[in-house]
Amino acid sequence: MSAYLNAVTSATLNGDLCEKTSFLDDDVKGFKIGIGSQGAAYLDFSVACFPSGEEVAVTVSATGYEDLTFTVGSDGNLVTDSTDPDPGPEEPSISVPTTAPSIEKKTNSSGNTYYELKFDEADQAWVSKISRIVRNSTAEYSFEDSLDDIGIGNTCYLDKEENVVAMAFPSDLSAATYTIVISSDQSADLTLEVTIPGLFGGALSVTIKTADS
């Protein structure tokens, strides 16, 4: 605040210039930078700046800052807008998917295996807001810039247009089931159970995990 006040160069009252001074005379319109008892700086206007019974529009100019404008009412208090600003249209509610995505094993141009989770078109708004994916409570995925960047490790790619989450999974000898928690802004989390086949077989599957399952 002190940096701003030190940069103040002028003020106008209802469009008329108010002189910056080092000493205030209550009979003359002027202002100065005041210092409070605890060292806080503030703008100090003379009494003449605000005639009784008049509403005064004040504009303060400071080098390097946008002009500050406020209005002092006829009662000597700041005029505030008593009406709440229009908050604008509400964000549409986004529902968590109730249908599990399809799952398919694929290979990108880098030669790395990944699994494509494709959600229904009705879930596109939810998919577009995905912000975090965690496997088995501890392994958090990093979002890559392209499908071909998916590699070994906890990497994934979000294709909002195709409603697809492409993810890498560990490779095991036997089939393994993982708990995947997907967080989406403006919505509750979605928890999936994904079974990845191992080298010795197993069925690829994905289901939605509920509190009762």
Domain ranges of the chain: 2-72, 102-208
Least confident of 37-41, 55-59, 135-139: 37-41
Helices (H), the chain: 2-7, 124-128
Class at the top of the CATH hierarchy for domain 102-208:
mainly beta
Phi–psi pair at 176, nearest 5 degrees: -135, 140
Could you give the CA distance from residue 98 to residue 21 in angstroms, rounded to a whole number? Answer: 69
pLDDT band at 84 (very low <50, low <70, confident <90, very high): low
Q: Give residue 212's pLDDT.
A: 60
Report pLDDT digits (tens) over 13-49.
Answer: 998 888 888 888 888 888 888 776 566 677 888 888 8
Predicted TM-score (pTM) of this structure: 0.57
Return the structure tokens found at 105. 């094993």
Q: Determine the distance from the C-alpha atom of residue 17 to the mean position of all C-alpha atoms in its chain, rounded to a whole number.
A: 41
Q: Give residue 81's pLDDT.
A: 61
Q: Could you write out the three-class secondary structure of 50-86?
A: CCCCCCEEEEEEECCCCCEEEEECCCCCECCCCCCCC
**Residues 143/159, Cβ–Cβ less than 8 Å:** no
Least Cα distance to 115 among 124, 126, 104 occurs for 104
Could you give the CA distance from residue 67 to residue 42 in angstroms, rounded to a whole number? Answer: 16
